[in-house]
Structure 1
Amino acid sequence: MQVQNETKPYDTINVTPMLDLAYVLLVVFIIMTTASVQGLQMNLPKPSSKPATEKHEIVVVSITPEGAFLFNGEGVSLEQLEARLSAAKARDKDMQTMIQGDAKTRYAAVIEVVDLCNRLEVSMGLVTTKIGV
C-alpha cells in the first residue's frame, strides 16, 4: 500500500478556535467590568436648615488680561491691594476674598494674588463664573 504525500495548499482557514477565544475574552471582560464598578460610598455634608446669621465682608479682586488688579472694581497696584486687604482684614477678621480672573489672564498674576492672600492669612476663593449672575 502506498500513501500519497501531496502538498495541497489550504484554501480555507478554520476560524472556529479564533471565535471561541474572542467569546471567552468578551465574557471575561463583561464579568470584570460589572464586578469592578459597584459605585462609591460617600458621606456628603448635610445642608443646614438654619439661615446664616453671621455677615462677613466679601472683597472681589479681579485680574484683567493685561495683568492689572481691581479691588471691588477699582484699579489698584499690588502694593495698594496689599494695603486694602490688610485694612479689610483689620475691620473683619473673617472676611472673604474672591479672586476673579479672565480666561486670558496671565497665570502668574493670579498666583501673585493667591500668594498675597496666603501671606496676609486671608480666606480666599477662586471665582469660576461672573459675580452677580
Structure 2
Amino acid sequence: MLPPAPTQTPGGGLPPVPDPTPLVSAPLPHSSSASGKLVAGFPKSIMGPTSKSDILSTSIATERDTMQVTLVARTDASADDVRAHYKKLWAALGLADAGATDGGVAYSDSLSSLSLAFSSAGTGTVYQLFAVFRTS
C-alpha cells in the first residue's frame, strides 16, 4: 500500500512562506550616537554587547521605516566565544545564517540584516556589530 499523496496548495507548488515579523517596531528612535554606552533606543535584546564587554561606541541612524545600528565593543573573551554568542542569539530570533567572511558572522531575514566582524587590537577582542532593520 502506498502512503497518501501529499496535499497541494491551490494552483500547485509549495505553500506560501509567511511574512516575517519585524524585529523592531515603529516609532523608531531618533538618529544618535554615543561613546562608552548604549545610545538611547538601542535594540539590546537583538544585538546588545556580550557580558563583560566594554562598549566603545554605538549609533543609530533612522529614516522612515529603516534603522541602521552599530556597536563597537571590547572584551577579554575570545572571538570564538563572541561569535558563538551572536550565532545562538540570532538563530533563536528566527534569522537565517547568511554566511560570513574573515571570521565574522551574518544573519538575516527579509526585514533584517545583522553582521559581526572583528578587528585587531592591542589587547582583548574588539568586535563590531552592524544591523539594518525595517519595520515593514
| TM-score range normalised by the length of the shorter chain | under 0.3
> TM-score, length-normalised on structure 2?
0.24
**Structure with the largest fraction of helix:** 1
Which has the bigger relative contact order, CA under 8 A and spacing at least 6?
A: 2
Structure (1 or 2) with the larger CA radius of gyration: 1
